[in-house]
Chain A
């Protein structure tokens, strides 16, 4: 008996380890699979146009900064669209937070009556496909003289992201234990103090994660931006499409532009990374 158990234990251990190694390999493979197109984009952006267009693609072609030089110093300046995108993304994210935090508070920590219904009502506004609302919004904007105005995009992005933000924040705030709040109340803390000293630190990572999601959604939004903007309010994704041409090579230029335009989002992601990991794993107090 004892012989059996002593031989069984290492083999089970081995199987366990094999399984772990396999899962690790699989995770690496999936990770690389997702990262490969991005890596290819970055690599292509350092090629000359004719090297970027070869079939089969060449790994050893010489590297050049031409595409970036063209992007920043070529025909059209990328700064106005980038500034427009930053304005729309940052301001709409701020507005979303200002509106969504009280809403989420009223749906989790001090839930209103029928708070589940309210939550689903918020979500139902996302059920209408955006494209169905496009024409009415265009006509309204035209009548109000708001076409090609960055404030229109700020309002739209705020409205678009609000339901998601309320849902996310609701789940983060629900993680704040009632006992902690009660303890603070017993110690004589009033609402502003509780909000600031108790709830904020616990829900902070969640708020950071929500902000980042809203920022990314606004930054990448293309449909509204393409239809509703023109000369002055053009955003970065619309500017990006302007590199596509039907009469020439554009791959290297396009990749350089795509990479340059992804950088702000990457930077925001890195800056919030440690909070994000806490926030996205929903582990505020676990």
Chain B
């Protein structure tokens, strides 16, 4: 008993000493964050950001002496955390990755620092080089710039050139959705072990809803008319959704209701599907070193029906929190990460196909990039430059956005609607039933804007 109590005493003493030591460490770590020559960055965990994190200390910090403290989180978590930190203006983070969906909404709420004064003072940054649709999509209603793009993307159709050739099919330079549906049927019938097309069916406003909304746009439909009347049961919306659901049910991948970007990328890489309509970012992975389909893929603009183009526009961009007390350092970081120089750094250190592209015209004029991205750089460039976030369909819209509606309620609404449509893809209900429920939800959102 005596030895046991002595042991307990020793254990407690060790724990106490350990605890004190640890707080001392934590205290030391904490103080380094507040001395001005640092900037706190909150960002989404995408490969491009991880690369940035790797390159920061040896390049940015080396040159400027500014320490960068990164917090990296998965997409949904980072959105929660950013809106929480920015809404309370607690100023924990100076810079955060926001998309072109959030930027105008945050700007309206007064959460973002305008960037025009920095842009005016920083001639090295070469703002004219930023692609016009990118620049506009990161501008607030007041016409001021609130974020700078890190990389951008649109959507296009990827297809297997070799399979098409074998079957004697010819992909037009600008396909229509009806042609794509025919191709899908032919491949599905003729080639065993290969489906016609892969389309996202996974619920989520950033998953299924993104490609579906571009189809709705080009079929002449819209989520809301100019007066915020929900249009989900209008003939065009129904026709587009039925087309999408039937196409993926008849000639699409197995387990369609559960597949998103990652699953479709996998299907395309493994040779399980002949076509894939999705983000232009997919091309980088398909053409990467070691990909079994490298060199076999053709790229054409997003298929259309009533409109001339229908690709979406998306960007991860750097926004600066209004409450930040570190604005100069924050701008130093943003202007470095979004610069042409950073793209060159990535190109030289880890290959030009890894460059955070899709935001600067100069990237597409760079011979090294053209060589590495030969198959798709031109189509990507045109898709991004031709995107019209203010006018993506056939009718005027009450809010900007191609694959989304630029209102804060859309994340919730889109996700709810996507669940209904995903259930229709799974065969649990008809498209009409799905859209009737979706319409009711959309009407409630619309009413909030009609008063």
Contact of B1 among A74, A87, A201 (CB under 8 A): A201
Interface of B is mostly: helix
B90 at the interface (CB under 8 A from A): yes
Tell me whether B47 and A232 are in contact (CB under 8 A).
no
B72 at the interface (CB under 8 A from A): yes
Tell me whether B53 and A76 are in contact (CB under 8 A).
yes
Chain A interface category by residue count: 35 or more
Chain B interface category by residue count: 35 or more
Tell me whether A226 and B77 are in contact (CB under 8 A).
yes
Tell me whether B92 and A147 are in contact (CB under 8 A).
yes
By beta carbon, the residue of chain B nearest A248 is: B47
A194 to B22, CA, bound (A): 33
- Over the window 249-276 of chain A, the binary record of Cβ atoms lying under 8 Å from chain B Cβ atoms (1 yes, 0 no) is 0000000000000000000000000000
* Contact segment of B25-33, B156-164, B370-378, B428-436: B25-33
By beta carbon, the residue of chain A nearest B32 is: A232
Most interface-central of A75, A91, A234 (chain B CB within 10 A):
A75
- Over the window 176-218 of chain A, the binary record of Cβ atoms lying under 8 Å from chain B Cβ atoms (1 yes, 0 no) is 0000000000000000000011001100100000000000000
Given known A94-B15, A247-B47, contact A197–B5 (CB-CB < 8 A): yes
B281 at the interface (CB under 8 A from A): yes
Contact of A231 among B47, B53, B77, B92 (CB under 8 A): B92
Interface residues of A in 153-186 (CB under 8 A from B): none
Tell me whether B30 and A232 are in contact (CB under 8 A).
yes
Interface residues of A in 75-90 (CB under 8 A from B): 75-76, 80, 83-84, 86-87, 90
By beta carbon, the residue of chain B nearest A198 is: B1
Tell me whether B23 and A91 are in contact (CB under 8 A).
yes
- Please give the distance in Å from A27's CB to the nearest CB on chain B: 31
- Please give the distance in Å from A215's CB to the nearest CB on chain B: 10
B309 at the interface (CB under 8 A from A): no
Interface residues of A in 218-249 (CB under 8 A from B): 226-227, 230-234, 238, 241-248
Most interface-central of A138, A139, A241 (chain B CB within 10 A):
A241
Chain B residue numbers with a CB within 8 Å of A138 are: 84, 88
- Please give the distance in Å from B73's CB to the nearest CB on chain A: 6
Most interface-central of B8, B19, B74, B261 (chain A CB within 10 A):
B19
Chain B residues near A (Cβ < 8 Å): 1, 4-5, 8, 15-16, 18-19, 22-23, 25-26, 29-30, 33, 40, 42, 45-47, 50, 53-54, 69-75, 77, 81, 84-85, 88, 90, 92-93, 261-262, 281
Q: What 9 pairs between A and B have smallest CB-CB spacing?
A: A244-B74, A87-B22, A75-B53, A230-B92, A242-B72, A245-B45, A232-B30, A201-B1, A231-B69
Chain A residues near B (Cβ < 8 Å): 74-76, 80, 83-84, 86-87, 90-91, 94, 138-139, 142, 147-150, 196-197, 200-201, 204, 226-227, 230-234, 238, 241-248
